[in-house]
Amino acid sequence: MKTKKKPTCIDLFAGAGGFSLGFQKAGFEIIAAVEIDKHACATLRANKSRSFPKMQIIQENITKLSGKDLMKKVGIKKGELGMLIGGPPCQGFTLISRKRSLNDPRSKLMHEFIRMVNEIQPQMFMVENVPGMFAYKDFFILLMKLLEKCGYIVRCLMMDAVSYGVPQYRRRIFIQGVRKDLDFLPIFPPPENFDPEQLKGEGWIPPAAIAVKCFAMNGFPKEEVKNLWWNKKLSIQINKKKAAEQINQAINLIIAEGIKNCLEERKGR
């Protein structure tokens, strides 16, 4: 019996391999990691045999590396890669820095990721960064436009690691794209973990139940970026202009489902 071939993945700005590890656990085969920092590369090498047996560790400056050369190194052709991921440096965007700026050379590395998407043409891509990127909304929208011009359906979403079982509040922005010829929308996983207040809530409908119903599973297009808002009670990102309507619809749906379940229970007695 043939085993199903895993989709391939390349990690840009790989660091010590955290993003790679997550995608590997999701079923991808990590075939290469590109990283300039020698200490991060040493960590990748130390963990390669145990965690990333098929990973080629490419210690290079990404600004000097072409997509064509990268594909040649790993033995793939344009359009064959399953997923391209990356976490470009966040120092120019983070809200904790007084020196944050779009003019920071590290901020401009987001464009290197876009260049690689265009040159490699992976089936899908995902790039992540800190919430501070939303402070530069015009720049953020421009990034999404440029990725669309590369031939992708592009969506963004902010998510919190704590909502997925990580014992840490850690919000991050994700931009995900699917090549247009594949004809399906990007998908983001709904929250699975909730704090006691979200599970308890007010009345018999807890915020957790509403959050799952209102969660933007397909993310948001560039046209909605300026209206996006983090709802602290629900712990999800939502379009502020549509929030009231979506929350009311979610409550009505939960009530309808509750009534249906009650009626089915009575029939079963």
DSSP string, 133-169: GGGSHHHHHHHHHHHHHTTEEEEEEEEEGGGGT-SS-
| Angle between helical axes of 110-120 and 137-149 (0-180°, round to 10) | 10
Residue 257's SS3 state is helix
User: Cα–Cα distance between 235 and 159 in angstroms, integer?
Assistant: 8
User: Active-site residue 90, yes or no?
Assistant: yes
Inter-CA distances, 157 with 16, 17, 49, 70, 256, Å = 24, 22, 34, 28, 28
User: Cα–Cα distance between 96 and 242 in angstroms, integer?
Assistant: 30
Torsion of CA 235, 241, 243, 244, to 10 degrees: 140
* SS3 track for 69-110: HHHHHHCCCCCCCCEEEECCCCCCCCCCCCCCCCCCCCHHHH
**Dihedral over Cα of 135, 9, 51, 40: its sign:** negative
Annotated catalytic residue: which of 41, 90, 156, 214? 90
List active site positions.
90
